[in-house]
Structure 1
Amino acid sequence: MSTGTAAPARIDASAAARLAVLAGATFVYVTFEVFPVGLIQDIAGSLDVPTGRVGLLISGYAVVAAVVTMPTVALAARVSRGTALVVSLLVLVVAEVLAGFATSYSVMVVSRVAAALTHGVLWSLIAPAAATLVPRHRVGTATAAVFGGSTLAAIVGSPGTTLVGELIGWRATALALAAATVAVTVGVVWALGLYGRGRRTPGPEPEGDGTPAEPEGDCTPAEPEGDGTPERPDDRIGGRAHWPRVLTLCAVAVVLISAHFLSYTYFAVLVTDVTGTSGATVGLLAVFGGAGAVGTWLVGRYNDTVPQRTASVTIAVFAGGTGLLALASGLGGGVMARGTAAAVAVALWGGAFAAVGPVFQTGVMRLAGSDADRASSVYVTGFQIGIASGSALGAALLGRSSLWLPVVSTVLVTVVLLIVLVRRPVPVAEKPVDRYSAVHS
């Protein structure tokens, strides 16, 4: 008789601390990625360029990231995952310093291109790195935790840089962000065990005498998940990649991300036009981020049990939020009524967008099996295509009326919802297995 070693059922304190540090990496990257959003009018005035041209700094960033993600991830495969993540953060520091000293639009473009060059490396490797720190059936929770950094960027980063930028200027704010990134980089070196020679990136220990582990469980067919979606062998992390389904999920994500950034890139302009005052921008950015924190917490609870249902609900809420924002400007009752409606709309939108990202990322990893890094690079490339197309389309619509932005966003999100309900592209979750029960005579 042979007995397997029990896999931990929970994420321990050490792993949680390391996940928090990885979340810090996504926080600083997203904060710089959307840096122009809240300060778009200040940057435009300082650099003497139109507002729409500053908005293109976001879409241009995304275009560069989309083009270089797959080749840079392939190049990063030559070194350890941890080393690649640290290098990407160091490049981000350089980009932030360049932004801090930018006196012309061209220097700002160089800054954005520099950060975009390693953006895909960080986002392709951060979730797989997090997955090595936890049991397999907790990968969805770990992914949500790491994505919590991007949510925190929406809560603190974007409104924070907007507020600080109004007080000390956007250039000084960029330099402060560079200092924060240096601190995060040091933390990542610790979290991934890169200090000291001969240390290995944290991850699951090999079992027994080094021979391949026996399949977990009693080898009976898995029961259908709570979603009602039958489990497929290639849905499980560690199995073979199912590339047609990976690409389908990535394509759905492209449309959803386009819908989001179509409106979010011009958040400050949209809020001003809807509420009738520019003073609401910082407050509504904070509402967006705070709701995102709630969305991230909720998805962490349900992403490992009913991911398909979670995706459907969050996308429906997303559509409700942008739809309400489109209607808010037409409400009577003055600034207070429009501001209240806008706050509710932004809360729904922000909470849903924060929640749906981990669902899609985890779904891609589950479908990719042992090829998670390469599949993540495809997903990140699609994400950047969505940002670029959304921001560019938003710039075109802005010339007509900012109120077209949430209308078109709502239409696109509704299309995504129909696809998710009909095609069910989100895979089922990994089920926890008590390996003490896997005893073979």
Structure 2
Amino acid sequence: MSAAPPTAAPDRIDAPTAVRLAVLAAATFVYVTFEVFPVGLIHDIAADLGVGAGRVGLLVSGYAVVAGAVTIPTVALAGRVSRGTALVVSLLVLVVAELLTAAATGFAMMVAGRVAAALTHGVLWSLIAPAAAGLVPRGRVGTATAAVFGGSSLAAIVGSPGTTFVGELIGWRATSLLLAVATAAVTGALVWALRPGPATDPPPAEPPAARNRRAGKAGASGAVDWPAVLTLCAVAVVLVVAHFLSYTYFALVVAGATGTPGSVIVLLAVFGAAGAVGTYLIGRHNDRAPRRAATVTMAAFAAGTGLLALSFAPAPVAVSWTVAGVAVAVWGGAFAAAGPVFQTGVMRLAGAEADRASSVYVTGFQIGIAGGSGLGAALLGHPVGGLPLVSAVLAAAVLVVVVVRRPVPES
């Protein structure tokens, strides 16, 4: 037998593994792009299908409701097959959903496509981070999670604006067909990325001493500390509510803060770009000091939304623009970083039950989306500047819990 090749440094991610992580990130990119697909083309879709824009808007909020309702049972069902198989199937279902959307001749067919994608949304988001964690050394789980979440950040920068731009050129049905082609390509790449081999083999057995220490933390039976998992998920839900309370009505908030509707596109791009930076930065620090990373992230979120609320104060246009721009950048970077912080924390607490715990987290995330959007709608009868103010108050409460209760575990 030939000598084994030199082993890479335990804290390094080699080039082949980095490529595999990029493929997983591409999977989140196409899923998020389709999730928000109707947003930029809402008027075109409504006109073609002969329905009101409000009904088309329900395609987004309804998607979140369906995804939240089915995540836990579908992930349990996916547990009967390998993680890679479940991820590939979820992307194949997404291809079907995109084809149904492209061929939609009525609103009912459009709904069918959205429901199809929502049914496997939770499967992909519950398994994608554990799959990434399985590709890297234990000390790089936070980095791998941030890399995968980078796909969703890229969707905010390129995916959503890109589909809107292309849709204006060739129509929303043809754009959905292009998305199906792109998703099919990502699916093929995912089959390659998760194929059996050195990069996807199980990690070496944990030393007995380390295993005993971990078992002691989890209890004599070695069971997962579900109260700790649920506490962290609950904290995440509050932050998601705080985010979507304002983000769902981003156009109204930003236009009100700056006094110019044209600022929406610019600041939406700033939000997305800051999200990419936040994802990169959290990937560098989430493994070394996760509790400190969580504290800084929550503080930045509260500061960003609070500053956005302050931008409604009477001031020259240039000052309002500057304050709103800084606020949106801080807010966008913080929220993008929050996803990897919570997801990695849940996986660290759950250990071998990472898939089940992630399904609970994803369900909570969808509840947060629906709850935040609904609370924001209820507050729209008041001055719109109140939305980011409420978001800041909720984020400050999350910050207090993160500092006092320390629900985010150390690596």
Normalised by the length of structure 1, the TM-score is 0.83
Deviation per residue, 1:205-254 (Å, 9 max, x gap): 565xxxx65336799x8xxxxxxxxx995389xx7421110000000111
User: Alignment partner for residue 371 of structure 1, among 343, 353, 368?
Assistant: 353
Asked if residue 265 in structure 1 is aligned to residue 262 in structure 2, the reply is no
Q: In 2, Cα distance between the equivalents of 1:17 and 1:64?
A: 32
Q: How does 1:129-140 map to 2 (within 5 A)?
A: 129-140=131-142
Displacement of 1:7 after TM fit?
6.7
Q: Is the 8 A contact 2:134 2:202 kept in 1?
A: no
Q: Is the 8 A contact 2:35 2:60 kept in 1?
A: yes
Asked if residue 340 in structure 1 is aligned to residue 322 in structure 2, the reply is yes
Q: Is the 8 A contact 1:145 1:300 kept in 2?
A: yes
User: Alignment partner for residue 143 of structure 1, among 142, 145, 155?
Assistant: 145
The code of the aligned residue for 1:8 comes to P
Match of 1:386 in 2: 368
Q: In 1, Cα distance between the equivalents of 2:268 and 2:346?
A: 29
The code of the aligned residue for 2:387 comes to L
Q: In 1, Cα distance between the equivalents of 2:44 and 2:16?
A: 42
User: Alignment partner for residue 18 of structure 1, among 17, 20, 35?
Assistant: 20
Match of 2:397 in 1: 415
Q: Which moved more, 1:59-68 or 1:169-178?
A: 169-178
Match of 1:243 in 2: 226
1:206 to 1:154, Cα distance in 2 relative to 1, 3 A: closer
Q: Is the 8 A contact 1:38 1:268 kept in 2?
A: no
Q: In 2, Cα distance between the equivalents of 1:425 and 1:278?
A: 40
User: Alignment partner for residue 214 of structure 1, among 207, 212, 234?
Assistant: 207
User: Alignment partner for residue 302 of structure 2, among 304, 319, 324?
Assistant: 319
Q: Which moved more, 1:356-365 or 1:39-48?
A: 39-48
Displacement of 1:28 after TM fit?
1.0
Match of 2:60 in 1: 58
Name the structure, 1 or 2, with higher relative contact order (CA <8 Å, separation 6+): 1
Q: Is the 8 A contact 1:89 1:185 kept in 2?
A: yes
Q: In 1, Cα distance between the equivalents of 2:397 and 2:390?
A: 11
In structure 1, list runs of 5 or more residues that go unmatched.
194-198, 222-230, 430-441
Displacement of 1:32 after TM fit?
1.7
Match of 2:3 in 1: none
Q: Is the 8 A contact 1:159 1:285 kept in 2?
A: no
Match of 1:435 in 2: none
The CA RMSD over aligned residues, in Å, is 2.8
Normalised by the length of structure 2, the TM-score is 0.89
In structure 2, list runs of 5 or more residues that go unmatched.
1-6
Match of 1:80 in 2: 82
1:136 to 1:274, Cα distance in 2 relative to 1, 3 A: same
Q: Is the 8 A contact 2:88 2:187 kept in 1?
A: yes
Q: Percent of aligned pairs with the same residue?
A: 70
Q: Which moved more, 1:353-362 or 1:401-410?
A: 401-410
Asked if residue 180 in structure 1 is aligned to residue 177 in structure 2, the reply is no
1:65 to 1:215, Cα distance in 2 relative to 1, 3 A: same
1:326 to 1:112, Cα distance in 2 relative to 1, 3 A: farther
Match of 2:94 in 1: 92
1:323 to 1:162, Cα distance in 2 relative to 1, 3 A: farther
> Alignment partner of 2:208: what SS?
coil
1:180 to 1:402, Cα distance in 2 relative to 1, 3 A: farther
Q: In 2, Cα distance between the equivalents of 1:328 and 1:49?
A: 36
Displacement of 1:98 after TM fit?
2.7
